[in-house]
Chain A
Amino acid sequence: MCSQAPPSMVSTEQRQHAEHIFLSFRKSKSPFAVCKHILETSKVDYVLFQAATAIMEAVVREWILLEKSSIESLITFLLTYVLQRPNLQKYVREQILLAVAVIVKRGSLDKSINCKSIFHEVSQLISSGNPTVQTLACSILTALLSEFSSSNKTSNIGLSMEFHGSCKRLFQEDDLKQIFMLTVEVLQEFSRRENLNAQMSCVFQCYLALANQVLSWNFLPPNHILSCREVMHYIAMFEATQNVMLKPTASWRETLLDHRVMDLFFTVHRKIREDSDMAQDSLQCLAQLASMHGPIFPDENAQLTYLAHLMEGLLNMINGIEIEDSEAVGISNIINNLISTFPRSVLTALPNELFASFINCLTLLTCSFGRSAALEEVLDKDDMVYMEAYDKLLESWLTLVQEDEHFPRGCFVQPAVQVFNSYIQCHLAAPDGTRNLTANGVASHEEEEINELQEDDRELFSDQLASIGMLGRIAADHCIPLLTGLLENRVTRLHGQLQRHQQHLMASADPGTVDRKVLDDLYEDIHWLILVSGYLLADDPQGETPLIPSEVMEYSIKHSTEVDINTTLQLLGSPGEKATSIPGCNRTDSVIRLLSAVLRTSEVESRATRASLTELLSPQMGKDIVWFLRRWAKTYLLVDEKLYGQISMPLSTAFGADTEGAQWIVGYLLEKVINNLSVWSSEPDLANDTVELLVTLVEKRERANIVVQCENWWNLAKQFASRSPPLHMLSSTVQRTLMKALVLGGFAHMDSDTKQQYWAEVLHPLQQRFLNLINQENFAQICQEEAVKQEIIATLEALCGIAEATQIDNVASLFSFLMDFLSSCIGLMEVYRNSPETVNLIIEVFVEVAHKQICYLGETKSMKLYEVCLTLLQVYSKNNLGRKRLDVAAEEDQYQDLLLIMELLTNLLSKEFIDFSDTDEVFRGQEQSSGAGRAVSAADVVLYGVNIVLPLMSQDLLKFPSLCNQYYKLITFICEIFPEKIPQLPEELFKSLMCSLELGMTSMSSEISQLCLEALSPLAEQCAKTQEKDTPLFIATRHFLKVSHMMSKPLMQEYSELVETLLSNQRDAVIYQRLADAFNSLTASSTPPTMDRKQKVAFLKSLEEFVANVGGLLCVK
């Protein structure tokens, strides 16, 4: 018992010794008699457990040697043994039943063992009426199910995937059904009983769980020919058993299409719904039934009948009960499965009344779960069941309304109104809303610490907001005016509240007395109203040109006849006035009015900052405003009529190209940006969102053209160039983005004088100051002075920003501008060699330039960049070889320089993959004769860099994820692009490269291993090309062949050895033949191997066939 004893009683050696005894016992030959003896006599549970395990392993091992009769008697022995000992420890009993299941499974394929007898026995056990015996019966069935499911629950018995697959297929057609029928009978029996005692309900629960397991069965398609995909399917099966949709084979029709089965599960749930554990199982069973699809339905009609019955049952179940907390997620799962599984055509074919009451029920549930979710948030519960359920239902709504053209027109409008209203209500403060109210109406308000890692609501709730925004569009007639009204109201109140505070502050100079409660409530209301408005009016502006959502466009068009354009423009252009004070404000375009409500919020904010009330404002609201304006501007500003079938007059008059409205709003946004950057320099997130808005304004040429006409823009440029407050107080990332925006703006349309003047304001001061500084005679002496260092750092930051502004049409001028700096930067590298911060920043400039520009550069320009990078690396290496620093914290930051250099090298290499410079079109007129002859190639730079990096990359450093990823990305690139250079590496370097490849393949994440394998294949090709054996690369690659089990075709001889090894491991003659044939046909097509593409494709194809044919045999579990 040494292996089980507590550590205080036995030594480690004793324990290991004991474990060894058990392990070797399990391997002993034909241990059946001994095991039986142990089982019958021993009183020690652990020994019993080991004996059962030994029997199981031995049967599988010695299967072909065993007589059929002895196997059968063994099964009978084990079953009887368990039956006669009801008091066995649970884990011993389960192990014995597992042994039975494994034996049955092993025998099922050659039909030597018949499940029938076991089922017969089980049904007798069930009918015994004795709860203990019934539980045992359930355990037997569960063990069989787990074994045959070929899932991660299946035992490892060393047989091929194909064996597991065939067993599963046989089982699911017959035995599985029988198990299900037995289960259903038991459930029926129990559901009829009036009172269940504790013991009975335990049995009930076991069978319910079993039913759930059957309904979650991952059905294999019935055909016997394996496609390649299916082999992958097998392998995937062993990993996942979660979220399986029910897709039974046609033979299950009689069983599962029988309405009584579905009714039974509804009945069962009704009976046990108050028991949260059991309710979970019964709801999961129903959710599985709601996900049923595939060949089980003979036609759409059958599907329709099934769905109608399911829906009726569901409605009966939900209506008239008060839903328990534990039911919420389960019910939303049923609905979500149902909506995503059944095709639109079936949903629309449902009887109108039924569908209407389903939608009605879904609406009520959504609203109610939403309210409960809000309550959970107030109570700060750990387990947010309603939030999860609410998310699921909103997801279902999104699925429904995204294809709403299939449904009767307008059928979702009323539900959308209700769900939208309830969402708004939950997010507004009392009296309009219920935010922060507990169930009994008590307000709770706590200020918690929020750190920067916490996501902003707009990301945290993006899924919810997207659904709500979508529903808002469906019911635009209701929702847009609602949002506008609420927002206008809150803004007016905020204005008044701030004014009161100002008067109060002037009267008593003590700001400590300000009560922020009212303000914070208003800020929170405005926060949510702006978020919902943003999601309603526009889509996430990522990637493609975002379009105005069709519902919003239609809404605006529909009402355009009632709209007075002039009043609308007046309303838009006077954000300082109350909207309702404008005469005729009810005859304005609602979409524009919603925007103008946000502009009014923005105006109140700006005015408060001018009145020195910034400390009373909410930076969160400031973020919301610029976030909204950015999203809005991307979609609506300078709306392009060509992109729309029909366009709303108010929208095109207010925001179209060449309109006063567009000009006005650009000016307004610019003013907002400038104001924010000076007022909110201490709020990094807000400053960041603000400067992103600025980038949005100038990144499109059409918008930039208007921007550069604004005087403010020029002021901003001058102010930034002079490095004066407040802009220089911004964080470095914001300053970089600001520089980027200023550069982008410079490419707008201007006459040549203006353009010249612009660059003289923006870029020339930078250059001038920099040159003046570094050309001073005593620069070496003054370089450590603080003012000088700051100037240098500001210049380097600005250079990064300039590089970030690179676009295809400005790369020519930006590259020339930056190149001048890059050479000077190398001089700086020397001067600041002992200041790591500055060194890193200099390398970063190179990284950015390479990252943004290399893909556009022609040969000569690339060469220039390679040269300057090479010089940079040389200087770095000279100054850092052997340098040792004092650093307290051994963190990744210390290796920032290494990381940056690897990034630089990777960026330089990326030209081999992404190259837009087919001709030197963008540099026309500048390019002189190509610099052939003294060429520095990317390979030279990169290999030189690798010489620096490799010796510094220790195994410890690879433990830092960022370093590790960057490192492997780099060496994989190198192997792929310059395989011919690898053998030429110095021996030490070559060795460490190979070592890190092996390390990456064997002990890193799968992503890294994949990279390494990708690196290997070009190396192998390289070997094949040179046809030289005994080169270090050849030897190394051969080594990898064994390590990775990869079949690298060029190494034919190695390959055939591997094949033979594989074959010799196969004892079964049939399989041997199949394998040998498969290997033959694999190589037949591609001998002798050549390296062209066609060959490769042909080989890949035969490899695929090969895997399809024997993959199932080679994967063993």
Chain B
Amino acid sequence: MADPDLDFTSGDAGASTTYPMQCSALRKNGFVVLKGRPCKIVEMSTSKTGKHGHAKVIFLSYFCMAVFNHLVLVIGVKCSSLSLQVHMVGIDIFTNKKYEDICPSTHNMDVPNTKRNDYQVVDITEGFLSLMMDNGDVREDLRVPEGDLGKEIESKFAAGEEMLVTVLSAMGEESAVAVKPMTK
């Protein structure tokens, strides 16, 4: 990033799905990869062992995408230089349990590349959305999300309202995360 004349024209083919970031520079409401899953950070705090210890960052986050029910085991990684344990506890959005992770604040964490696109809903069949892409093609591979948002989309559709859904994609997965009526 040292080059001031950045080239932003290249496409994202073959680009990495994540990039590293120092733990301390992560922010609440941002994204991070925990246990290989893209997550949204909902709580973040630092602590240290002993008054003269170094800071650790504690995350509390949820999967930003609810695709599969994951059961994740507690793992411990020995971090050699400071002999601090890295803890991760992660649980899926559906169970509403939280992911927790402690790591030294000097650690680099992976942050998922995320992308949001708005599509117009043209149909809903058997739990799948039919979405109109920018180029006029229609894709039909995205599930109606569970929960309130899904109900909202379905009832709006049933009422014949035109709407846009925002689709969030990260690490090769996608999910509808917001809906908004079309502006006339």
Which residues of A approach B to under 8 Å, CB–CB?
447-453, 511-512, 516, 519-520, 523-524, 527, 615, 618-621, 681-685, 687, 722-724, 728-732, 765, 768-769, 772-773, 776, 778, 782, 784-788, 791, 833-837, 878-886, 888-889, 891, 893, 896
Nearest A residue to B45 by beta-carbon distance? Answer: A452
> Do A884 and B4 form a contact, CB below 8 Å, given A520-B52, A730-B25, A893-B28?
no
Q: Nearest chain-A residue to B24 (Cβ)?
A: A682
Binary contact track B67-103/A, C-beta < 8 Å → 1, others 0: 0000000000000111100000000010010000000
B138 at interface by CB-CB < 8 Å: no
Given contacts A682-B105, A834-B117, 15 further A-B contacts (CB under 8 A): A447-B49, A449-B49, A450-B47, A520-B51, A524-B52, A615-B81, A620-B51, A683-B105, A724-B2, A729-B24, A782-B8, A784-B115, A834-B116, A885-B177, A886-B176
Contact indicator B22/A778 (Cβ below 8 Å): no
B47 (CB) vs chain A CBs: closest residue = A451
Interface pairs (20), CB distance under 8 Å: A449-B47, A450-B51, A452-B45, A615-B54, A618-B53, A682-B54, A685-B55, A722-B4, A729-B22, A730-B24, A731-B27, A732-B27, A776-B8, A785-B113, A791-B6, A883-B178, A884-B149, A886-B178, A888-B62, A893-B28
With contacts A786-B113, A884-B179 taken as known, whether A520 is within 8 angstroms of B8 at the C-beta atoms is: no
Q: How close is A456's CB to chain B, nearest CB, in angstroms?
A: 10
Task: Say yes or no: B9 contacts A683, CB within 8 Å.
Answer: no
Q: How far is the CB of B59 from chain A (nearest CB, A)?
A: 13
Interface membership of B125, Cβ < 8 A: no
What residues of chain A lie closer than 8 Å to B140, measured between beta carbons? none
> 5 smallest A-B Cβ distances: which pairs?
A618-B52, A447-B50, A883-B180, A682-B105, A682-B106
Task: List residues of chain B with CB within 8 A of the CB of A888.
Answer: 40, 42, 62, 93, 96
Judge if B12 is at the interface, Cβ distance under 8 Å: yes
Do residues B48 and A619 form an inter-chain contact, with CB atoms below 8 A? yes
**Complex Cα spacing A681 to B114, Å:** 25
Q: Which of A620, A784, A791 contacts B117 (CB 8 A)?
A: A784
Taking a contact as CB atoms under 8 Å apart, the answer to whether B152 and A684 are in contact is: no
A497 → chain B closest CB, angstroms:
13
Chain B nearest CB, measured from A506 CB (Å): 16
Complex Cα–Cα for A728 and B83 (A): 27
Query: A520 to B50, Cβ gap below 8 A?
Result: yes
For the complex, is B154 an interface residue (Cβ under 8 Å from A)? Answer: no
Whole-angstrom distance between the Cβ of A250 and the nearest chain B Cβ: 56
A54–B4 CA distance with the chains assembled, in angstroms: 87
> Are A447 and B181 in contact, CB atoms less than 8 angstroms apart?
no
- A986 CB, min distance to chain B CBs, angstroms: 20
The complex places the Cα of A450 from the Cα of B56 at a distance, in Å, of 10
A884 touching B8 by the CB < 8 A rule?
Answer: no
B9 and A782 within 8 A (CB): yes
Q: List residues of chain A with CB within 8 A of the CB of B50.
A: 447-448, 450, 520
Q: How far is the CA of A626 from the CA of B80 in the complex (A)?
A: 29
Residue of A nearest to B94 (CB): A888
Task: Give min CB distance, B103 to chain A, whole Å.
Answer: 11
Residues on A with beta carbons closer than 8 Å to the beta carbon of B177: 885-886
By a CB distance below 8 angstroms, the chain B residues around A896 are 29
- Within 13-49 of B, Cβ neighbours of A (below 8 Å) are at 19, 22-25, 27-30, 40, 42, 45-49
Indicate if the CB atoms of A722 and B81 lie closer than 8 Å: no
Chain A residue nearest to B31 (CB atoms) is A837
Give Cα A880–Cα B180 distance, bound, in whole angstroms: 7
Interface string of B128-150 (1 = CB under 8 A from A): 00000000000000000101110
Contact A837 B22 (CB under 8 A): no
Residues of A within 8 A of B148 (CB): 884, 886
B163 to chain A, nearest CB (A): 8
B1 near A: Cβ within 8 Å? Answer: yes
> In the complex, what's the smallest C-beta–C-beta distance from B9 to chain A, in angstroms?
7
Nearest residue in A to B63 (C-beta to C-beta)? Answer: A888
User: CA separation between A788 and B7, bound complex, in Å?
Assistant: 10
Asked whether A512 and B80 contact (CB < 8 A) given A723-B1, A787-B6, the answer is: yes
User: A residues within 8 A CB of B1?
Assistant: 723-724, 728, 787
Partner of A787, one of B8, B104, B105, B183: B8
Cβ-defined contact, B54 with A786, below 8 A: no
User: If the complex has contacts A520-B52, A785-B12, are A882 and B180 also in contact, measured as CB distance less than 8 A?
Assistant: yes
Name B22's closest neighbour in chain A (CB-CB): A729
- Give the chain B neighbours of A787 by CB distance below 8 A: 1, 6, 8
Cα–Cα, bound, A787→B8 (Å): 8
Q: In the assembled complex, how far is the CB of residue A566 from the closest CB belonging to chain B, in whole angstroms?
A: 37
The answer to whether A684 touches B24, judged by C-beta atoms less than 8 angstroms apart, is yes
B179-A883 in contact (CB<8A): yes
How distant is A386 from chain B, measured CB to nearest CB, in Å? 21
A113 to B136 Cα, complex, angstroms: 97
Q: How far is the CA of A837 from the CA of B5 in the complex (A)?
A: 26
A618–B53 CA distance with the chains assembled, in angstroms: 6
> Contact between A684 and B46 (Cβ–Cβ < 8 Å)?
yes
Q: Is B49 a contact of A776 with CB atoms below 8 Å?
A: no
- Please tell me if the beta carbons of B9 and A834 are within 8 angstroms of each other in the complex: no
Q: For the complex, what is the distance from the CA of A778 to the CA of B8, rounded to whole Å?
A: 9
Q: How far, in whole Å, are A685 and B9 apart by their CA atoms in the complex?
A: 39
Known: A682-B22, A776-B9. A882 touches B47 (CB 8 A): no
A6 CB → nearest B CB, Å? 37
**Contact B145 A683, beta carbon cutoff 8 Å:** no
**Nearest-neighbor residue (CB-CB) of B177 within chain A:** A886
Are B12 and A452 neighbours in the complex by a CB distance under 8 Å? no
A452 in contact with B51 (CB, 8 Å): no
